[in-house]
Structure 1
Amino acid sequence: MSYDRLLLIVAVLIVALAYTLARPQEFVLSDVANKTMCPIEVEINENVDRIPRRIKFLKCAARPNKLCSEHHISHGCCKQHHHAFVTECVEIYDWVQVTFKGSDAPKAIKVPVGCTCLIEETTVAGEVP
């Protein structure tokens, strides 16, 4: 085998490896849903009189800091109170267009699509006269 041919094979293998590593990875929602600072609970909202009939609601978990205590994490939303601000997990919403049976007009409904850590600044109250 010639040196040029071997070099070409190595170059093709490097390009193929780079392409494979650069491809975006696909994640399954159930695999990553509760590995964030603000884990979510997935709820299927079903209404037989609505199109679409089923809508996936991604809500903040009832106990968002359970993950923190299990893994001994003490930053971000895991540490609820800081000096100048309070952190909390809050739901993120979006609007989804739906149509109800018997109605031709579409309607927008508010749907929870995730959960994120929110920082709320706080101030010390002054003296009350």
Structure 2
Amino acid sequence: MSRCLIIVFIFLFVAAAYVLARPQKEFVLSDVANKTMCPIEVEINDNPDRIPRRIKYLKCAARPNKLCSERHIQHGCCRQHHHAFVTECVEIYDWVQVTFKGQDAPQAIKVPVGCTCLIEETTAAAEVR
């Protein structure tokens, strides 16, 4: 029985060492914010009467397809019209719990947390006679 426990322990130790030794991919927001099909702009919303005081808003860039035109990319959200669908960059939202000074109960506020390429299907119009 103890031999079995030793084998299990050795296996777990080797597995943990392997996982920890693997290189981890980490991306910093400032490095990737404008290298996506739908670039973002980071805005810090500061309200001294709120906890948390500062909330990071990640909004769609004013000109989301600037990267596409600069690099001559013709796919995804870079080509906004296709025969079967239309693509556009849209903001993604989440709810953040905040508390305002003088209030006991927290409340949720809607915060933009990113920007993604959305596909909207289109249909051909019927022929007009």
Q: Which band: TM-score by shorter chain?
A: 0.7 to 0.9
Letter in 2 for 1:126: A
Matches of 2:89 and 2:105, distance apart in 1: 35
In the TM superposition, residue 113 of structure 1 has moved relative to its aligned partner by: 0.3
Q: Runs of 5+ in structure 2 lacking a partner?
A: 1-16
Matches of 1:23 and 1:98, distance apart in 2: 36
In the TM superposition, residue 24 of structure 1 has moved relative to its aligned partner by: 1.7
Matched residue SS, 1:30: helix
- Cα deviation, 1:68-99, whole Å, max 9, x if unaligned, reads 01111000000000001000000000000000
- Match of residue 116 from structure 2: 116
- Cα deviation, 1:25-81, whole Å, max 9, x if unaligned, reads 222111110000000000000111100000000000000000001111000000000
> Across the two proteins, how many residue pairs are aligned to each other?
112
In the TM superposition, residue 126 of structure 1 has moved relative to its aligned partner by: 2.5
Matched residue SS, 2:81: coil
Matches of 1:127 and 1:27, distance apart in 2: 50
> Is 1:84 the equivalent of 2:84?
yes
Aligned-pair identity (%):
83
Matches of 1:123 and 1:102, distance apart in 2: 53
Q: How does 1:1-129 map to 2 (within 5 A)?
A: 19=21, 22-127=22-127
Matches of 2:72 and 2:43, distance apart in 1: 28
4+ residue segments displaced more than 2 Å: 125-129
Compute the RMSD of aligned alpha carbons: 1.8
Distance 1:121 1:105, change over 3 A: same
Letter in 1 for 2:78: C
Letter in 2 for 1:96: V
